[in-house]
Structure 1
Amino acid sequence: MSPTVDDIRAAAGRLAGHVIETPCLPSRTLGELAGCNVFLKFENHQFTASFKERGALNKIAQLTPDERARGVLAVSAGNHAQGVAYHAERLGIPATIVMPRFAPAVKVERTRGFGATVVLEGDTFDDARRRGLALAAERGLTMVHPYDDLEVIAGQGTIGLEMLAQQPQ
């Protein structure tokens, strides 16, 4: 199942005022190389420097009061971790982030800087994922999956709505 355009529009409403509408500009160089018009969406302008916070916020914003009180958990080596941690902190929701041991130190520190509890686990991403699933089940935490979640996908889809509005041709 996929989110509908209405789901994405609803997500845009939830994200309004919390993420920025990033520029969408033509790339002459890439356009010449590809032989067509190419536009770039500058999601690096977001607070966490990634589009990933859109999906994280859309998911977190829809939690029930009970789910918010228990907290959220994500498994990520970087950008999704930061998006979840940042918006959970903003909304006063406890966040646990499971990261594989190979996660870049700067990503680990930035995630901790947003108030998340970081658990470094495993030599592979699958090891970290297994630990994250177990922790979420043990503690009753809501899993914020980086891509396999309709609310997360709808949040990421808001980029498309912005692009269509900014470059309607």
Structure 2
Amino acid sequence: MEPSRITRWTTVAGLSMGALVALAICAAQAPAATSGELVTGTTLGTLSLVGTSATFTTNFSPGGTATANGALTATNTAASSTLTVGDAGTGAGHMVKAGTGCTGSDAQLTNALSVAVTGTGFSSAGAKSIPDAASPATVATAAAPFSAAVLTTAYSQVLPSAQVMLTGCVYSLTATYTLQ
């Protein structure tokens, strides 16, 4: 009677002895291989400089000293930075009159436009006359990386009393800043 019990048990389990042996063979782990992979990254430099405009609204007349502020937003991931300024226009640092509406006014202002640049984390070089772009002036330095730093550009234009400027004549200069 014992053989019928075994048969009944295997029938109840639904598996024959052959199926159990096949399961045991399949259940054995297959050989495996492993490998490590080092993942690295090197930061790329980020450098940007965006400026606003500045407009003289008072004292921009003969015998006056006009002042105006602008702003630069700068980002540099380098360990240190230098900010320079120069004039790439025809005035070599002097504001020049517009092409129309200024007949009778001096072609350019007698004194060079000056600027002082300040900002948190920056060392200002003080007020500098803006030179020709071929020989830019250093106006500020930073000894650490910075992101979206706001720099104030404080412009000053001294106008001698003998300066000939007709009412409504527009003078301008594009200060070209370089961040390195």
TM-score interval for Structure 1 and Structure 2 normalised by the shorter chain: under 0.3
The structure with the largest strand share of the pair is: 2
TM-score normalised by L of structure 2: 0.23
Highest CA radius of gyration, 1 or 2?
A: 2
The structure with the largest helix share of the pair is: 1
